[in-house]
Amino acid sequence: MKKETATLGGGCFWCLEAVYKRVKGVEKVVSGYSGGESKNPTYKEVCSGISGHAEVIQVTYDADIVSFGDLLDIFWKIHDPTSLNRQGADTGTQYRSVIFYHDEAQKEAASRAISELSGTLPQPVVTELSPLAAFYPAEAYHQDYYDTNPNEGYCRLVIDPKIEKFESAFSPLLKTD
């Protein structure tokens, strides 16, 4: 087993977490915050925009089963990398599109993926590419949000379509258990 970690932000972390928990080879997904200056930020501080952090997920995965490139392919499909500081109705820098790389290999792979994607979209890709400085897990009530609140309005209207898009486009990467 080749355990690796990826940290991605593409709108609300509930959305990303719900999708990535369904990816074959993913062991754990933690919702949290990264990219700001404050230490141990709260959800309220992140939502206010004063912390500078983005809502992100940290994915622990088996690279022998799913590659970082596969994770990026999913990332591009389930959010809009051309939308600056927003995804749908969620607006603010905390919802920015961002890849926090853990090493040079991730940096190179993400940079290459951004370049390749840029040539295929009508708008410029605005996804930030930055080294991971710190990751702060979000409060307990944000973890596994979709799985514990599947009938909540946001889950049905926003997250369900993202899961459906993932399942349709990436069926070979879907967990079967």
64: DSSP letter: T
Catalytic: which of 12, 15, 47, 155?
Answer: 12
**Sequence-ordered alpha helix ranges (H) in the chain:** 13-20, 43-48, 68-78, 104-118, 145-148, 153-154, 160-169
Is there a catalytic annotation at residue 12? yes
Return the number of other C-beta atoms located less than 10 Å from residue 37's C-beta: 11
Q: Hey, is 142 helix, strand or coil?
A: helix
**Token digits of residue 27:** 């062991």
List the one residue out of 28, 112, 35 whose CA is nearest residue 76. 112
Q: For residue 29, what are the CA distances in angstroms to 49, 50, 98, 142, 173?
A: 24, 25, 16, 12, 16
List the one residue out of 71, 78, 128, 118 whose CA is nearest residue 98. 128
Active site residues: 12
